[in-house]
């Protein structure tokens, strides 16, 4: 009584996506960085603000897309796995 190959593949993909989501979330900066940069006297130029903003936007969108794919994969697992024949 082993696992079906589809079950193993979907499980591995889900683990990789979960780790990727964790890494993406940890790479993002918090929303409260603006105040601490002002108090610390951080030099924000127009170029650095635009660059940081675009990086944060890309990470945010990538996180959302990865989370959606992960959720769809979980739903697919619960729909597909009961249909698969057991050996």
Model confidence pLDDT, tens digit, residues 32-64: 655 555 565 555 555 556 666 688 889 999 999
pLDDT tens-digit profile of 1-33?
Answer: 578 888 889 899 999 999 999 999 999 887 665
Contact 2, 84 (CB under 8 A): no
Rounded-to-integer distance, Cα 35 and Cα 86, Å:
58
Rounded-to-integer distance, Cα 66 and Cα 61, Å:
9
Closest C-alpha to 48, from 61, 37, 59, 62: 37
Would you say the pTM of this structure is higher than 0.85?
no
């Amino acid at each position: 009584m082993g696992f079906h190959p589809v079950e193993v593949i979907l499980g591995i993909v889900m683990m990789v996506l979960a780790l990727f989501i964790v890494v993406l979330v940890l790479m993002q900066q918090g929303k409260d960085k603006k105040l601490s940069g002002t108090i610390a006297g951080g030099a924000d130029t127009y170029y650095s603000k635009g660059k940081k903003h675009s990086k944060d936007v890309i990470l945010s969108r990538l996180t959302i897309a990865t989370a959606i794919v992960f959720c769809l994969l979980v739903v697919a697992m619960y729909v597909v796995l009961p249909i698969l024949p057991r050996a």
